Structure 1
Amino acid sequence: MNDNQPLYQKLYNSLYDKIVSGEYSEGEKLPTEKELAAQFNVSNITSKKALEMLADNGLITRVPGKGSFVMKYTEDKENIHKGEAHSPIIGVVLSDFSESYGTNLLSGIEQEATKNNCFIVPRRSYGNQDLENDAIDSLVDMGVDGIIVMPVHGEHYNPKILKLIIEGYPLVLMDCDLKGIPAAFVGTENVEAAKMAADYLLEQGHRKISFMSTNPKDTTTIEERIQGFIISHAEHGVKVDEALWETNLMSTLPGMDSDNNIEADCDKIKNLILDNPDITCVFVTEYNLALLVMRVLKSLNKKVPEDISILCFDGPYNSMGDYFFTHIRQKEKEIGSTAIQFVLKLLKGEVIEKTYLKAILVIGQSVKEIHD
């Protein structure tokens, strides 16, 4: 038996052998999906797919409400062979992607898929849980071998994703972890990354640092970055001043980039800066928000970094290595390639732990050192 085969293929082959050998005779009822799952220690989804493959090849007939029954094995079915290792098809559901974050993530997925003779079927949810559900449903119905999901940001977990995880479907979460859920995951160590960024700012002499983000309730990622920011201040003996924070921005969330939302966010940033003229630096949790801060500062005739410094997460890749924003760079390609590796391991029945990758600090031109 080929160890590289998905679990459903192995189960299909086992049942195939028993049908062809006569161990399961014509008209005999096969064990149910649940019974097969227990017998072979696989998920119900796996046993269901194996039975569907047998039915598609004319080896069994499935009668709703009654079960699966062996059909007569005739000469015209002799060309139906056991399945050999095939090229897995993996669905990929991304909330969205851009030059600053996501494009290289998808590139890492594609490169690793090609390396392992896999095919990918990408879908985008645009930050909408209903679209995410539709994408997952369409991929499952298509019969993909596994799915990689970048979960939509939200206060509550997507029940469809939870259901697939509970049923043992080969699903890997990427970028945004579901805390407390025993699912395969690969993403950035956000607490450590944010601490590293804040450490740098504090070591550059900044003390009045504004923290700007979308609502922390929308994603555990923001919560983790806040945690790292606070830990850094505590270790440096610097008090965190939440009066300098703006954590209710929304225009950079997928599907929320309307002119009204952009203007509303600009007003919030502008008012915060005008009300707190002692701010020397803005710590921003994403690149597009950093661009928004730049826009506001320009409207106030303030220069970066001469008047106010900016540090953010992510940013477009520059082949010349010359970056304007000092930023935290996540290992997108490695996250993407690891996600593919995890799906393939899940298909072989391996247990996968959550994996957090270290980010790196890229020094650009947007942070000024403060002298006493």
Structure 2
Amino acid sequence: MNENQPLYQKLYNSIYDKIISGEYSDGEKLPTEKELAAQFDVSNITSKKALEMLADNGLIKRIPGKGSFVLKSTEDNKENVPKKGGHSPIIGVVLSDFTESYGTNLLSGIEEEASKNNCFIVPKRSYGNQELENDAINSLVDMGVDGIIVMPVHGEHYNPKILKLIMDGYPLVLMDCDLKGIPAAFVGTDNVDAAKVAADYLLKRGHRKISFISTPPKDTTTIEDRITGFILSHAEHGVKVDETIWETNLVSTLPGMDSEHNIENDCDKIKSLLLNNPDITCVFVTEYNLALLVMRALKSLNKTVPGDISILCFDGPYNNIGDYFFTHIRQKEKEIGGTSIQFVLKLIKNEEITEKTYLKAVLVDGQSVKSIKGR
């Protein structure tokens, strides 16, 4: 037996052999999904998939509410039924988290493309914790999924588990956060270009004292890329970057760090920054929830947006009306999700892909940025 086979394939082959040998006779009722899962120590979704493959190949008939039965009609053609027949791939998806502002549309894009390709998806969340990420990946591999899409946890070091799977040639696609220097399929946003577009927008409207606000950049290449784009824009406009008016050590929007203590502490940092630098005209924020925190800080200081200070951020809840308060950068979440499915399906077919796809984001005009006169 091939030890590298997915669990559902091993279960399929076991039942197949019993049908072909006559151990399961024509018309006999097979064990239920739950019974097979317990017998073979696999998940219910694994046993379900194996039975669906047997039904697709005409070996059994599944009757809702009654069970799965060996087909008498297979007597003359069992030898022609492939032992490794066609089936619907199961793809594991490991996200750090998903919220209304970012992630929900990403998952929607994954689900839509998976449906088009007759795939099943098994989503799991790591909550920004590398240990939980490992647990999620291990459980998916043990379940016997055909491939995995993973949004790597931001951290100072790459996850060894992910690196090993990539080096072993496992069908794995990185999404949203790239592991630079690692030859693996990746789909995400061109964050350098996105940040440059955003900063260009602000500089053209006369802003010169622009504060940069983010979570710690050492924990993610995403923030590093946005800093790069921000600096490139200033350089092209001949404007000096003032890092003394930056705050890049906020933590309350990181997964698992949203305690009231952290929120209040971050809010105090923002207020202190604004009070000590009254010449700031705009705040460039790397995520939507931090923009809400900036709003909270400004409100406590009796300042208005954009009357006193402008705000531009990344992402935000989508609405069909298109009437947004925050001027923001919108990432192409559905396209990222859909392309990730396409990539992992190619890898499952043993097509070699180390392609890195960076999609351009778009700037959405809102009501939170005003022009500075005389610039």
Q: TM-score, normalised by structure 1?
A: 0.82
Q: Which amino acid aligns with 1:124?
A: R
Q: Which amino acid aligns with 2:371?
A: E
Q: Which amino acid aligns with 1:363?
A: D
Within 5 Å, give how 1:173-188 maps onto structure 2: 173-188=174-189
3-state SS of the aligned residue for 1:91? strand
3-state SS of the aligned residue for 1:257? coil
Which of the numbers 345, 357, 360 marks the counterpart of 1:358? 360
3-state SS of the aligned residue for 2:322? coil
How much does 1:53 deviate?
4.2
What is the percent sequence identity of the aligned residues? 78
Cα deviation digits, residues 216-247 of structure 1 (max 9, x gap): 01100000000000000000000000001000
Alpha-carbon distance between aligned partners in 2 of 1:116 and 1:74, rounded to the nearest angstrom: 34
1:151 is aligned to 152
Alpha-carbon distance between aligned partners in 1 of 2:289 and 2:222, rounded to the nearest angstrom: 16
Cα deviation digits, residues 277-336 of structure 1 (max 9, x gap): 000000000000000000000000000001000000000011111000000000000000
Alpha-carbon distance between aligned partners in 2 of 1:113 and 1:163, rounded to the nearest angstrom: 26
Task: Work out whether 1:299 is the aligned partner of 2:300.
Answer: yes
Asked if the contact 2:7/2:144 (under 8 Å) is kept, the reply is no
Asked if the contact 2:8/2:144 (under 8 Å) is kept, the reply is no
RMSD (Å) for aligned C-alpha atoms: 2.1
Task: Work out whether 1:343 is the aligned partner of 2:340.
Answer: no
Alpha-carbon distance between aligned partners in 2 of 1:51 and 1:317, rounded to the nearest angstrom: 39
Within 5 Å, give how 1:186-335 maps onto structure 2: 186-335=187-336
How much does 1:153 deviate?
1.0
Q: Which amino acid aligns with 1:357?
A: L
Within 5 Å, give how 1:153-168 maps onto structure 2: 153-168=154-169
Task: Work out whether 1:368 is the aligned partner of 2:356.
Answer: no
How much does 1:350 deviate?
1.5
Within 5 Å, give how 1:64-83 maps onto structure 2: 74=21, 76=23, 81-83=82-84
Within 5 Å, give how 1:3-152 maps onto structure 2: 48-49=4-5, 53=9, 57-58=13-14, 74=21, 76=23, 81-152=82-153
Task: Work out whether 1:172 is the aligned partner of 2:173.
Answer: yes
How much does 1:52 deviate?
8.9
Alpha-carbon distance between aligned partners in 2 of 1:367 and 1:344, rounded to the nearest angstrom: 42
Cα deviation digits, residues 129-174 of structure 1 (max 9, x gap): 1111100010000000000001111111111011100000000010
Asked if the contact 2:95/2:125 (under 8 Å) is kept, the reply is yes
Cα deviation digits, residues 227-275 of structure 1 (max 9, x gap): 0000000000000000010000000001110011101101111111001
Q: Which amino acid aligns with 2:364?
A: V
Alpha-carbon distance between aligned partners in 2 of 1:126 and 1:54, rounded to the nearest angstrom: 32
How much does 1:83 deviate?
2.1
Alpha-carbon distance between aligned partners in 1 of 2:150 and 2:142, rounded to the nearest angstrom: 16
Q: Which amino acid aligns with 1:359?
A: A
Alpha-carbon distance between aligned partners in 2 of 1:151 and 1:51, rounded to the nearest angstrom: 25
Cα deviation digits, residues 157-197 of structure 1 (max 9, x gap): 11101110000000001000000000110000000000000
3-state SS of the aligned residue for 2:249? strand
Alpha-carbon distance between aligned partners in 2 of 1:143 and 1:51, rounded to the nearest angstrom: 5
Cα deviation digits, residues 104-144 of structure 1 (max 9, x gap): 00000000001110000000111111111100010000000
Alpha-carbon distance between aligned partners in 1 of 2:120 and 2:258, rounded to the nearest angstrom: 32
Moved over 4 A (4+): 50-56, 73-80
Alpha-carbon distance between aligned partners in 1 of 2:207 and 2:371, rounded to the nearest angstrom: 8
Alpha-carbon distance between aligned partners in 1 of 2:86 and 2:195, rounded to the nearest angstrom: 43
How much does 1:55 deviate?
8.0
3-state SS of the aligned residue for 1:180? coil
3-state SS of the aligned residue for 1:186? strand
How much does 1:349 deviate?
1.5
The alignment covers a number of residue pairs equal to 318
3-state SS of the aligned residue for 1:249? coil
Where does structure 1 lack aligned partners over 5 or more consecutive residues? 1-29, 34-46, 62-70
How much does 1:57 deviate?
2.8
Change (3 A) 1:272 1:84: same
Q: Which amino acid aligns with 1:349?
A: N
Alpha-carbon distance between aligned partners in 2 of 1:322 and 1:86, rounded to the nearest angstrom: 44
Alpha-carbon distance between aligned partners in 1 of 2:200 and 2:13, rounded to the nearest angstrom: 61
Alpha-carbon distance between aligned partners in 1 of 2:368 and 2:340, rounded to the nearest angstrom: 33
Q: Which amino acid aligns with 2:356?
A: K
3-state SS of the aligned residue for 1:152? coil
Cα deviation digits, residues 11-51 of structure 1 (max 9, x gap): xxxxxxxxxxxxxxxxxxx8xx7xxxxxxxxxxxxx61179
Alpha-carbon distance between aligned partners in 2 of 1:95 and 1:54, rounded to the nearest angstrom: 31
Q: Which amino acid aligns with 2:255?
A: P
Change (3 A) 1:343 1:279: same
Where does structure 2 lack aligned partners over 5 or more consecutive residues? 25-77
Alpha-carbon distance between aligned partners in 1 of 2:144 and 2:303, rounded to the nearest angstrom: 55
Change (3 A) 1:119 1:239: same
Alpha-carbon distance between aligned partners in 1 of 2:314 and 2:90, rounded to the nearest angstrom: 32
